[in-house]
Every structure is written in C-alpha cells, then in structure tokens.
Structure 1
C-alpha cells in the first residue's frame, strides 16, 4: 500500500526534486518511508533552521525549489526564520511539515508539538496549503509549484495531518505545467519607443535578472548603457566595461542614475537595503523609469512611466531590437566605479582592507560560489564588489538579514552545483548561530571553505551603536576556540593574521572536503 506521505515524495520526484533537507520525527514517518527507494538524496542538518537555509542555498544555485521536511510545531517554527529570508530574496522554497490529527486542530488538547493554528501562523509569512484527503495531494502539489515558480518566487508551506499522512493514496496524475508570463506586445513597443528616444540609458538589475545574464549584456551593449547591479545580481556583468557592481546607496551610483534620461529597472524591488542602506533619503526621482518585474503587486509599489509584467529574460530578449547607439557608456560606468571605490574608503577607513580580503578570496578560488553571512567584509563588498560567477554571490546581509544563514546556505549551494568550490564567509558571532552545520558539510564531503572573520564579537553592531552615541552593550560574545572546534568537527584548520597574500596561499592548498580558515582581526 502506498500512503499519502509516500505519494507526496513521488510527486516531488516527478516535479524534478532531487534533494530533500530535513530532520525526521514521529509526525513525518510516512514521508521518510517514501524517501526509501525514491532516488531522492536526503541531507540531515543539525537544526531545522539549517534545513531551510540549505534549501535556500540550493534553490539560488539551481533555480529550482529547495525542499525541507520538518516536524509539526517546533520543526516548523525553527524553519520560519529561513523561510522569511527566502521570502525577502524571492527564493523558491517548499517546506513540508506534519500537523496533528484533523479532529484535534484548534482545540488546545495538549497534543505533542501542538500549535493553536499552525497554518494561520505560516500564512502571515507565505502561502500555507493543507492536504486533508488523499485526492487533494496532486492539486496541492500543483498549486505549490505554481506559487513558487509561476510568479514572484518565494517560500510555500504544505502541511499534512498525521491521520491523513498514513492513508492509502492512488498514484498521482502527471504534474501540471507551470505557466510562464510573456511580456505584452503593447508594453514592449512603448518601452522600445522610450529607449529609442533616450540618449543616456542606465539599467538597474536586481536578483530577478539572475537568470538573464546573456540577454542583459546584449541589451546593455546595444544601448551602450551602464548596468548597476544590486547585491543579488552581482556576477552578471563581471569585468564588463558597462558593469557597475556597486550599491545604489552610494552617492557615486546615485549621480550616474540622476544623469540618465531613461532608467530601465529589471527584477529589482528597489528596497532600501540596496538603494538606501544608510537611510539618508535623497534618491533620484525614478518616476519616469521603465520597470520590468514578474510580480504585478511589486510593480505597483513605485511610480513608473511604464510597467511591464514579465520574466526578466523574456522582456530583455524582446527589447533587443532597440536602436543601437554610442553613448559613452563605458566611460560613464568607469567614472562611477572609480568614484564608488573612493567613496567606500571615505565611508569607513577599514572598508578597503575588508574588500581586499574578499577580492583575495576571488583571486584564489576563481569561479567559486561565495555565500556570505552578516559580517563586516560582506557589508563592504555589498557596497562595491564584482564577482566572477553569475549567481555566485549571495548573502543574508540584505533584505531580511538573518544571522547564521551562511553555513546552511553554503551546504545547499554545494549540493546544487556539484564540483564547484564554495566559500562561506562568516563572522565569529554569526558562526555561533549555526556552528553545528559544519559537521553536516563533513558528513556530505562537500568542497566548502568556511572562512571565519574573527573580530571577537558583533563589531558591525558595536560600531553602529558607538556611531549613534549609545553605550556599546551586548556586542562582545566570546568567540569559539576555533582550533579545537575544527578538530571536534573533523575539519582541516588554519589560523591566519589579516593578510590577503597569506589567505590566498592558504586557499590554494589542495583539499577535497570542507575546511575551516580563521582570519584573526585586530
């Protein structure tokens, strides 16, 4: 007999799922019965938050939903932080949980892992779907994948009551195709007309353009337009004369945007963590922009002269017939890059040294995926840094900003891109949020280099408190003694002074599985 839990796993496999992250429990036994013999790889984190962070990293690298299995109650609440991070960064993630028996829900009977309203709690964050009968399973899976992939991506939750999980279920029908939204011809024609009339175009590219690199470069070259890349778009224009891998929070980038006579914004929510990190206001008027986004609700949130609802790649490809021109785009981009780098040093004296560390990492491990946590060199590089792999730079220091994101997301990324080196850059404070996940990297034998920026505390927060004239309190948690910690995890370990050349040398040493490198910050 095949149960609902077993058929659910079959349904995931039919939709292209290859890896599941999760910690089993008594409420999910039928899911795990289904995993046996399914061909799906199961990865066991050390915490359900880690499972969902792994699903996040996997999804960012593959473009396919990352999947986590968690238990009812605490398993799901542990995963909520990572689900919120995925929502902020538009990452497709499916979290499947149990829930208590149908006849007990909402009654407060004191069942194990009981919540007053588990689905209601999740719906404040993202869609939550419940399977209450075997025949609902196929339609619920179709709906979940449509929500994750048919519009703006994000997390979706499916819960299955324990008494439904074990019911007999018939084989599922083939998955429904996820519809794709093509841009409307009228909007494209208006966009071409506006772009043809412009002399100095600037393109703003966000995370929604991550899969549209070739089309973005082709259009930028035809328009001779500088391309400003937000954090989640870094790597799309690596080394390109038209690339501006710098934050629109910087005055140099704002000046470039202000000088444009047409702005084309593609796949960016225009949020303050990218566009006004220091909450200064004064951003150039964008009400005349052409805006492309997959989400109609997102398009409605800012004034624009023209809004086009479409996937970035489809829209950029359709705009390829615009008039070609020479607009000194490379010179404009170069001036902006130079000014942005100078501004970085003016913001804080130690930022150039932090950026040099990140650039040393890139030089030592070319083509790697860099996964960051909220730590000082990540903040510096988010302001100005050009990565050498499209989609290979992402971190939790924007949007939701969850500490402890790095290790789990790096594990998911390594599983999503087999054979590609992964570098996880994390602070000593952030590491203690999810240190146990390093052991999971050992279990899986993944080629991840964990680089710990050890400044013995929450230095970024301490400096913010001091800058605000507040007494610095609570920012000095003692760091782990990393040598014995690495030994306990079975990780090769090295400890270095803050020296880019020494770091490059350590990184070039051959290794097959994970390793830990400490950077001692004065």
Structure 2
C-alpha cells in the first residue's frame, strides 16, 4: 500500500468519526486487525469487554443513556453469535446500534469450506434481529451503507444495523473523498390528522395519555400537551421519566395494574404515542389492553400503528412534532383545564392508591430499597435494571424524573445479564451522571466478568445486588404450579 493510501478498515473509522462516534465496544481478533488499526488512528475510544455479549449490552446502555448510536465491533462467527442476544434486546426495545463485523473472504462466502469462524450465512442470521444486515461486496459501497444505517437510526424506528465486511476487503485501499453523510430526518405527521386528533381530545370529558419509549426525546412536548389537556398520563416501562413520576397528573409506569387498565378501558379517548401496547407493557397480567372509547395512535413505524390495538385515528410521524402541534391546536382552542386538572389530580391520586392492592407480594419489601436509591440518586442519575424480582417491582414503584435515566431489559426480549455491561456503557456516555446497576445474583453470573472492565476504566458504578440464591422468580413459578424444584437453586459465590 503506497504512502498516503488508506485501507478500508482505517477509512471506516474515519467515517464513523465523522458521524460522531465516541466509543467502539468490542474484542479484537485476527479478522478485524485492520479495523483496529483504524481505531488506533482515530479519536474514537475503544472499550474491551470480557465477552462479546457485553459489547452489545455496553453499546445498548450507551445508546439509551445518551440518545446517540452505540457501536460495537465483532469478529466473524463467534463474535456475531455472542452478540446476537444483546442485538435482539436492542431490536425489541428500538435502540440504535451499529454492529460492524468481519466475514470470511468474498471468494468463499456460503461455500462451507471450513474457513476460520465460518458460518453458513452470517448476514441471514443477523437479519432476524436487525433493521437490516448488509454484506459489503465492494469497498466503494461502504459510505452508502453507513449512510443508510444512520438514515434508519435518525428517520425511522431506530433498531440495530449489522454491516459485515469480508476480510479480503478490509485491507483494500479506498478513496471515499466523494461521499455524503446521511441527512435524513423523521417524517412529520399529516397536519389535518393532527388537527382532527386535537379536536377529538378537546371534546372529551375523560381523556387519557399513554407514552412509550418512542417519546424519550419528546419530554417537553409531552409535558405541554398533558398540562394543557389536563389528562392523566401513564408511561410504559420503556417510557419511564418522560413525564416526571412526581408530576400530579402522572400515573407513573403503572400500566400493568387493573385499576389503571380499567381507567383506560373506560376513558372517552386515549392518545397512545410511541408504544407497542404489547404483552410486556402489562407484564404478567395477560390479555390485551382494551379501549371502549376512541384510540389515537402516533408512531414513527407504520406497521406498529395497527399492532395489538387498531386505532380510530392512526397518525404516522415523529412524536416530538406531533405532540407539539396537537398542543398548539389545543392552546388555540382556549381550553380552561383548571377544573379538569383538579379532577384529574384527584383521580390520579385515587388510582395510584388503588394500585397498591395489586402490587407483587414482595413489593412492600422492595420499595424500601427503591426509596433509598431514589433519595440518594440525583434526578439525572441513571439506573440500569436487570430481569430480577427487585426490578419487577421497581418498574412501577421507582419514581423516574427524567427520560433516559431508567434502562431496563425486562421488556420485549427480556434477557438476563444486561444491567452491568449496560451500566458501563451508560457511565462512559454520561460521565457526570451517577449510575446504579440493579441486578439479581442469577443475572449477575451472566456478565460478572465485566467487573474487570469497570475497574479497568475506573468507573464509579454502584451495584445493588438482589441475592436470593438463584433464579428466585422462576423458583416461585415452580412452587406456584406445584413443580419440583429443578435448576433454580444455585451455588452463588461470595460476591461481596
């Protein structure tokens, strides 16, 4: 390679640098050496987890906490399969992750010749848990594919993208002087539909609002709409903190409890924004969320608009723009929400009190832990929450006051081992925010090796460990259904 010529691997990192990449999470391997030459030649910081699964979780925690794209670098084969679980979690929870990997040389793709790290079709595998998976067959296409990835992250439902580069192309010299970065923006909703939605909300005596994870960057717009409307608002677990859970109109994240579900069923009209309205939004209660009144749904994903609960008014578009325009229409109607505010606040207070009789059995014990965390952690502090009994209560009793401060894997894909590596990613992305990792002893065993990564980077993460000697939630399920205990009681080392 002549002096001044740069390889694909080096230029790839320069390209990602231009897109604002701060960190790459990954474990180097013989197939990705030239990409690592590019990392060394850039301002991008590399973080080495002790397992590629954690690379994906770290990228996820970074992305959720910052709102930026998380980037991980994976080797061919085992690197990609090790990262499959976190990528599937990110896919389920709409988290923007760019997974860059190597793949076997172009001349042997899918031929089954027994090459090192070979999979029959790596790209087809990852296509099941990504927005798209692209094999690079010409280095000239790399800038275009990366631009497509960032267009997906910025202008549609954000989900992981996998880009794999054959090892014979990673070292090739490239000239990408003529390329355009993605300038894509999310679609704006139809103005007439927004006006129609505003009129319907204004006419209703009993409006209600549901906010999901798709509103994480729309907190100001959501608060304005809720206050001008004077409507009770409930968030999904993914939407915790979009409206401060201390707000007098906030029902918190109590969507799963029967009193709140009954209230929504009986509401004259419900506005649901950026939410699946799925099984894990009402976790363990079974059935669907029912609406006897009108339903307005706003979502950036057209296919999501009709899933689980078909709307009377479907609105495709960006949550921030849609909420702001509806609020503007409501303001122009000179509503007087003073009386409705007082009624709604009393209703919210009564509903919150009535949910307590539907709490999980151990919630009165768990809430003592969560109250201590809340009283200690500043509003901008971040909680990463694993799948464990303490967190199942925390999903509704912990009062999040800002968006992107409660990151949980208990929704959607629902994996274990998320919270510790996610805390590392969140802490790196938000160094001025204290981070608390809440995890069970069983879940911690999945990624306990990342304690070494946290120590290596001198990260002041606090770990709250729920220690019940194994898989306590599943043990309770065994007992509930009269099944002899098998595989749920674990020999947990002395972690403290």
TM range (shorter): over 0.9
The gaps in structure 1 that reach 5 residues or longer are: 484-522
**Does structure 1 residue 252 correspond to structure 2 residue 269?**
no
Contact 2:266 2:291 in 1 (8 A): no
**Does structure 1 residue 335 correspond to structure 2 residue 350?**
yes
User: Partner of 2:446: helix, strand, or coil?
Assistant: coil
Give the equivalent residue in structure 1 for 2:321. 314
Contact 2:11 2:38 in 1 (8 A): yes
Give the equivalent residue in structure 2 for 1:364. 376
Equivalent positions of 1:491-506 (< 5 A) are: none
Contact 1:341 1:384 in 2 (8 A): no
The one of 334, 351, 354 aligned to 2:366: 354
The one of 85, 89, 106 aligned to 2:110: 106
1:177-233 deviations in Å (ceiling 9; x for gaps): 123211111211111121121111110011111111111111101110011011111
**Does structure 1 residue 174 correspond to structure 2 residue 180?**
yes
Contact 1:246 1:340 in 2 (8 A): no
Contact 1:57 1:412 in 2 (8 A): yes
**Does structure 1 residue 470 correspond to structure 2 residue 480?**
no
Q: CA deviation at 1:286?
A: 5.9
The one of 281, 294, 299 aligned to 2:300: 294
User: Partner of 2:123: helix, strand, or coil?
Assistant: helix
The gaps in structure 2 that reach 5 residues or longer are: none
**Does structure 1 residue 130 correspond to structure 2 residue 145?**
no
The one of 457, 463, 468 aligned to 1:455: 468
1:64-83 deviations in Å (ceiling 9; x for gaps): 11000010000000000000
TM-score (normalised: structure 2): 0.94
- For 1:447 and 1:132, the matched residues in 2 are separated by 43
- For 1:30 and 1:456, the matched residues in 2 are separated by 45
The one of 85, 88, 94 aligned to 1:84: 88
Give the equivalent residue in structure 1 for 2:121. 117
User: Partner of 1:280: helix, strand, or coil?
Assistant: coil
Q: CA deviation at 1:96?
A: 0.4
- For 2:292 and 2:187, the matched residues in 1 are separated by 25
Contact 1:294 1:310 in 2 (8 A): yes
Contact 1:369 1:389 in 2 (8 A): no
Q: Which moved more, 1:167-176 or 1:381-390?
A: 381-390
1:112-146 deviations in Å (ceiling 9; x for gaps): 00000110111122210122112111101111111
Task: Give me the CA root mean square deviation.
Answer: 1.3
Q: 1:286 to 1:272 in 2, by over 3 A?
A: farther
The one of 372, 376, 401 aligned to 1:388: 401
Contact 1:362 1:388 in 2 (8 A): no
Give the equivalent residue in structure 2 for 1:504. none
**Does structure 1 residue 221 correspond to structure 2 residue 227?**
yes
Q: Report runs of 4+ in structure 1 exceeding 4 Å deviation.
A: none
- For 2:7 and 2:101, the matched residues in 1 are separated by 16
User: Partner of 1:339: helix, strand, or coil?
Assistant: helix
User: Partner of 2:490: helix, strand, or coil?
Assistant: coil
Give the equivalent residue in structure 2 for 1:516. none
The one of 426, 431, 442 aligned to 1:429: 442
User: Partner of 2:72: helix, strand, or coil?
Assistant: strand
Q: Which moved more, 1:299-308 or 1:419-428?
A: 299-308
Q: Which moved more, 1:426-435 or 1:391-400?
A: 391-400
Contact 1:4 1:165 in 2 (8 A): yes
Contact 1:27 1:162 in 2 (8 A): yes
The one of 195, 198, 201 aligned to 1:195: 201
Q: CA deviation at 1:282?
A: 6.2
- For 1:103 and 1:147, the matched residues in 2 are separated by 30
User: Partner of 1:482: helix, strand, or coil?
Assistant: coil
1:274-309 deviations in Å (ceiling 9; x for gaps): 12x224326422672000111001112231100111
Give the equivalent residue in structure 2 for 1:419. 432
- For 2:292 and 2:322, the matched residues in 1 are separated by 20
**Does structure 1 residue 212 correspond to structure 2 residue 212?**
no
Contact 1:287 1:303 in 2 (8 A): no
